[in-house]
Structure 1
């Protein structure tokens, strides 16, 4: 017997099987009996049919197109990720994702060694795994945002008008921007527009020459200009300024002390340079000693060191991934990471800054879809993040990132250029900050320019990866090796941080940096400024927004004998211009209070206390 559901939604036909005896009985019913049975059926309350799987309109057919489509769908998903429709009991235990568990009990933490501060940081990271950085940051008033866009619009409009008038009435002055005797200009007017019409107005805020040692104070050489910042000349005046512009996090940029003494002795023994690349005759015993010390410091089997921090990223990433691979990068990663990713030839996808929810969705998409056009599985997936973001002062959510790594089986690359030495109770970086074992990060990168008062960078990983990089990394093969004096500076400063000199000077510097960073950022927020950055970050960005206030803030602070760094587009989003304060362990509480007092005065002058408004 067939029962038809006449619902207004999607019609569903349910076929109820009947025995042969019942079928014959219904066939021999009279017309009156049929009418009576139908009336009784209508009086009874109608029961909703149980939802069943929708039946195919036609049976499966065996064809070449169906086989090709089925094979393509099966090949587009890596075998390491079981389909969602498979019952968990049918999936091997090795392929099942880890069950959700509290942060304190996860197997990739070291519960016996985790300190209360590390446990607190990890718990805080678990609570902000779906946090949106843009929503987290305090927003400026709408009037400020509108005026910022209007200012940029007026600057761009006036710049184009000046170019049009100049090409008509000042042909010689603008000849380098036009086709001259059949030669195209090397730099066109459009390519250089931002530099000529916007950056040139405030060019005096950057590239300020200094002299002496950039410690807690630095000596700035005053400049003047007579042609609207096109050229500068020194006035001969020296400004002794409180230094918040240098990356001297732990205060090792010194001309006296154990580091300077060790470097001086190294110069006498090794000279100034190795005069060769590492692959030829430029590998010194100092280099191998430093590599072993770095590997032990960050908790990896081996490491290599290179002579330039920027090249550490830009030459290592192409040596690890290539065509057929996928790089998933945080949207606010450093330009060296972006440059290296583009050189690699791998596909690149970007996720929202430090947003683990967005990263999870992106991972599901790229793994299920595979490579473009062919839908083959990716050869490898490399997720690249920074430990401490230099323009935002935010710390990567490493515990949640490791959970995603265990679930989706990607490789993890962490840039610790700003976090190594500056984060963690032992200064060992973001892994030390959270109490996470470094074994769960595939590649750890860092530089020696921030916390160690030196130059160059390192890559730390498993020994097989490092041996591969010694043959593929262009900075290791072709670039000149790290100079002996820089190498010794890193060895000595890292030994002080680890307490190998028999003192607690290193631990005092780490604690002093953390205290200074928390105090400085908290006081700025109390004053009414909009400040980015996580707690304990030595990078403290203060939002300026308006392009005119970039130069105004920088010049006013220099008048008050304080050296700072201001940042604008394209290093930041167009409406997020900021002043970046780099706090150091060498700063005293009196230094911080004096700087805060001057910042408050300039903030009132330029109306920068947006929270108070």
Structure 2
């Protein structure tokens, strides 16, 4: 894969080398090799990403909202310290004071006083397969989101825009899933847990060998949980006295792992074919329509993970709650997983989404954008280009 500046991706690393060197037999991962052999021009497309800045008035009101929330937070902490208001927050014990702190003081303050007020928009329980449509269990809180109780009502057929179900494989059980059923009966449900519990099985070794072969390396190690892969292994690789250069848009697992390591951290600014084809078409359509409506969206134009910037915490809560009333499930993200003033909604487009589902979501987003005044973009697109046709992903000679 070549970037516009002449670099090449080899084994997942961007190397700045000339086009002449790129044509030589340098080590590449399997995807690049296959692309070169088959002449697939899609691997040589330039990378297009968008990170539009918010208008000044939006940032002013965002920080103003955080400022007011912070003042009330300090007032409530004062009342809690004097026993006037009950505090349900977890507190680290005195004997743990010499350990690396799990939470920074500001993050703990933020969790108690801001996140807790809108916590009902996270970790929503479901009671069906997380396919294109799924069922959500309704819950309410009697203590301002410190605890929840179920009402017994099931919200049926919610359009799922929050799961990483890119190829649409999450579905109710049928006979095509027999191999999955057989694997569960043979290996149980704990294969993805730490190997201290289940040990190393033949499937672990088989997967590691396959990954190593794909990456063209001697060996590979796989983990059952992506978050733990980063957060638990970074402290094993670096520690005090080391320097970590971290992208400002790194995932929360990388951020946590870097903090737990004790290293010095310096942040820098960012920089099956039918199903894949359907995913690409859905992604292009969804992103293009959001841009036309005037929303600020981040990321690569080909990425099915679509962050829509909301900025203000109050609007984050209203956005998620109103969409659930319209039977649309979304993920909303805020600090510390994002910069303080860049709270957002995250949509995960799937190949299983039909055009009718996407249109229903887009119609609701259009209404919500006007209601909450979150159409912040100054680069609204007026015309929609043609979507991929059925030959778009055919390999070229």
Q: Does 1:173 align with 2:86?
A: yes
Cα deviation digits, residues 261-308 of structure 1 (max 9, x gap): 112122333444479975798222222222223333444443222222
SS in structure 2 of the partner of residue 302 of structure 1: coil
Q: Structure 1 pair 151/586, CA: closer, same or farther in 2 (3 Å)?
A: same
Instruction: Please report how far the alpha carbon of residue 538 of structure 1 lies from its aligned counterpart in structure 2 after TM superposition.
Output: 0.9
**Aligned counterpart in structure 2 of residue 550 of structure 1, from 313, 316, 329:** 316
What CA distance in whole angstroms lies between the structure 2 residues aligned with 1:249 and 1:317?
A: 28
Secondary structure in 2 matching 1:223: strand
Tell me if structure 1 keeps the 8 A contact 2:251–2:337. Answer: no
CA contact (8 A) 1:565 1:579 kept: yes
CA contact (8 A) 1:515 1:536 kept: no
Compared with structure 1, are the counterparts of its residues 114 and 544 closer, same or farther at alpha carbon in structure 2 (3 Å cutoff)? same
Shift of 1:556: 0.7
The corresponding residue for 1:157 is 71
SS class of match (2:61): helix
* 1:137 matched residue in structure 2: 51
Instruction: Kindly state the Cα deviation for residue 105 of structure 1 after the two structures are TM-superposed.
Output: 5.2
Decide whether aligned partners of structure 1 residues 350 and 140 sit closer, same or farther in structure 2, where only a CA change above 3 A counts. Answer: closer
TM-score normalised by the chain length of structure 2: 0.76
In structure 2, distance between residues paired with 1:187 and 1:326: 21
TM-superposed deviation, 1:248? 1.2
Aligned residues: 347
1:192-249 CA-to-partner distances (Å, cap 9, x unmatched) read 4322221121111112111111111111111122332233221111112100111111
> 1:140-191, CA deviations, whole angstroms, 9 ceiling, x for partnerless residues?
22221111111111111122223335555x547369999xxxxx9x999977
Report if the CA contact (8 A) 1:277-1:283 is conserved: no
Q: How far apart, in 1, do the equivalents of 2:323 and 2:88 lie?
A: 39
On the 8 A contact 1:324/1:346 being kept in 2, the answer is yes
Query: Could you state the TM-score of these two structures normalised by the residue count of structure 1?
Result: 0.51
Post-superposition Cα deviations, 1:442-466, rounded to whole Å, max 9, x if no partner, equal xxxxxxxxxxxxxxxxxxxxxxxxx
Match for residue 289 of structure 1 among 206, 212, 233: 206
Which string of whole-angstrom CA distances, capped at 9 and with x for unpartnered residues, describes residues 527-566 of structure 1?
Answer: 1111111111011011111111000100110010000011
Alignment of 1:244 with 2:161, yes or no, is yes
Three-state SS of the structure 1 residue aligned to 2:199 is coil
Match of 1:116 among 21, 26, 41: 41
Partner-residue secondary structure (3-state), 1:571: coil
Q: In the TM superposition, what is the alpha-carbon distance from 1:113 to its structure 2 partner?
A: 4.7
Q: Relative contact order (C-alpha < 8 Å, sep 6+): which is higher?
A: 2
Do the aligned partners of residues 583 and 281 (structure 1) sit closer, same or farther apart at CA in structure 2, a change above 3 Å counting? closer
Gaps of 5+ in 1: 1-97, 126-132, 179-183, 355-505
Inter-partner Cα distance in structure 2 for 1:159 and 1:344: 30
Specify every segment of 5 or more residues in structure 2 that has no aligned partner in the other structure, as ranges: 1-14, 27-31, 92-96, 381-397
**Which residue of structure 2 lines up, in the alignment, with residue 210 of structure 1?**
126
1:201 alignment partner, one of 114, 117, 121: 117
